[in-house]
Amino acid sequence: MGDIGGMLRIKLSNRARQTPPSPIRKLAHLAQRAKRAGTGVYHLNIGQPDIESPEEFFEGLRLFKQKVVAYDLSQGNEALCSAWSRYVNKTLGLNTSPEEFLITMGASEALVFLFMTCCDPGDEVIIFDPTYANYIGFAAASGVTLVPVLSDMERNFALPPLEEIEAKMTNRTRAILLCSPNNPTGTVYTDTELKFLLDLCEENNIFLIVDETYREYVYDDLEPLSIFHLAPRNERVIVVDSLSKRFSLCGARIGCLLTTNPEVLSVTLNIAQARLAAPTIEQFASAYMLDHIKDGYLEGVRREYQARRDTLYQALSSVPGISAHLPKGAFYVIVRLPVDDAERFAAFMLEDFSVNGRTTFIAPAAGFYMQNSKGRQEARLAYVLERPDIEEAVKVLEAGLQAYPGRV
């Protein structure tokens, strides 16, 4: 509390003042300013797909004829839970039931709920570093301590060795949280790795939470793998899922958690009741879409992302000084840049650099690491643009690296 101009400042909480801005969005104001000044911006910073949302979603939207946009159920619209269950059963060969779903406002809300359900303040969840940056925000919101185990670019960000994970387990560890395919690294964990984590959770009697937002986006010879393939009725397993990326519906804010554990479902529902319900119209349209989406839709999108990945990887490979690993899933890659500080470089690109009136916006990776200093020279790139734009974006990036005064 400080005395400013004779008026006492009103105290804000420490947790709020200490909540870091999203590394994906923190430089957004610089991008806005660049755009206002007439500079075109290639957005490699954010996982906002440019692929059109399915026509079936918009059809569902048009079919919404209720006269009152009323609250839906706190656990989620019944038609949506049924449609989602049918959809994963059909496309993945699973055996889920609608009552095992709890619909949330994006995967984000599912994770906040689960942190509250699994952990009291100060309890610990093990994650793998680098991690999806917003996990850090959800942990701050729920008073959970994230305990990072470092994964390594040189090993394609594979699961760290057993002893490194075990060394981080304490009597306050309540869950391991894994995102596979991974944001921000693009790594797809193998069934051996998943089984290994499952055993570890069994031995320690804790939850295994798997964020499968990017499940279908796996490349080369890989097939979509859900933790439920390996442990179909295991009550310590909770899947977090979302329509955001799979159907280019980020703005619909429709996610879910999925578990056969009745106690988790019932206490999480009590928490969910306080926020009443997820949006009614988007749930209605999503249910219609899941029931009517064409069989080939996702395969088409998957192929497109695989081609973009190849384009990006190839383009990056020819840039001197950049190291990148080959991502096997999702639509991200972590790269190491020949710069003193990737955040300063990202700001430089937006504020001071352009080629033919265009610049490239990248997300500095430090914010994806709990151990910030680890990612200081790294950036996350999302390949959510068309291939020619990806190629141009990398050319601009290369030119920017040449011009940047902090190049190392």
Which tokens go with 206? 């804790």
Q: Which is nearer to a second copy, 68 or 373 (CB)?
A: 68
Q: Are 240 and 209 in contact (CB under 8 A)?
A: yes
What is the nearest approach in angstroms of a second copy to the Cβ of residue 108?
4
Q: Give whole-number Cα distances, 27 to 32, 113, 339, in Å.
A: 9, 28, 18
173-179 and 3-4 beta bridge pairing: unpaired
What is the nearest approach in angstroms of a second copy to the Cβ of residue 340?
26
The number of angstroms, rounded, from the C-alpha of 186 to the middle of its chain's C-alpha atoms is: 10
Q: Which is nearer to a second copy, 13 or 356 (CB)?
A: 13
What is the nearest approach in angstroms of a second copy to the Cβ of residue 238?
10
What is the nearest approach in angstroms of a second copy to the Cβ of residue 87?
18
Rounded to 10 degrees, the C-alpha dihedral 101/225/197/122 comes to: -40
Q: Are 209 and 322 in contact (CB under 8 A)?
A: no
Q: Which is nearer to a second copy, 158 or 269 (CB)?
A: 269
Q: Which is nearer to a second copy, 7 or 154 (CB)?
A: 7
What is the spatial distance between Cα 342 and Cα 336, in angstroms, rounded to a whole number?
A: 9
Q: Give whole-number Cα distances, 400 to 28, 342, 366, in Å.
A: 18, 12, 20
What is the nearest approach in angstroms of a second copy to the Cβ of residue 31?
12
Q: Which is nearer to a second copy, 251 or 321 (CB)?
A: 251
Task: Tell me 389's DSSP state.
Answer: H
Q: Which is nearer to a second copy, 82 or 190 (CB)?
A: 82
Q: Which string of b and e fits 218-251 if b means at least 16 CB within 10 Å?
A: bbeeeebbbbbebbeebebbbbbbbbbbbbbbbe
What is the nearest approach in angstroms of a second copy to the Cβ of residue 74?
6
Q: Which is nearer to a second copy, 281 or 355 (CB)?
A: 281
What is the nearest approach in angstroms of a second copy to the Cβ of residue 3?
11
Which tokens go with 394? 């990398």
Q: Which is nearer to a second copy, 90 or 275 (CB)?
A: 275
Task: Tell me 351's DSSP state.
Answer: H
Q: Are 218 and 245 in contact (CB under 8 A)?
A: no
What is the nearest approach in angstroms of a second copy to the Cβ of residue 120?
5
Q: Which is nearer to a second copy, 113 or 404 (CB)?
A: 113
Amino acid symbol at 316: L
Residues with Cβ within 8 Å of residue 115, at least 6 apart in sequence: 125, 138, 139, 141, 142, 144
What is the nearest approach in angstroms of a second copy to the Cβ of residue 223?
27
Question: What is the radius of gyration, based on Cα positions, of the chain?
Answer: 22
What is the spatial distance between Cα 393 and Cα 296, in angstroms, rounded to a whole number?
A: 30
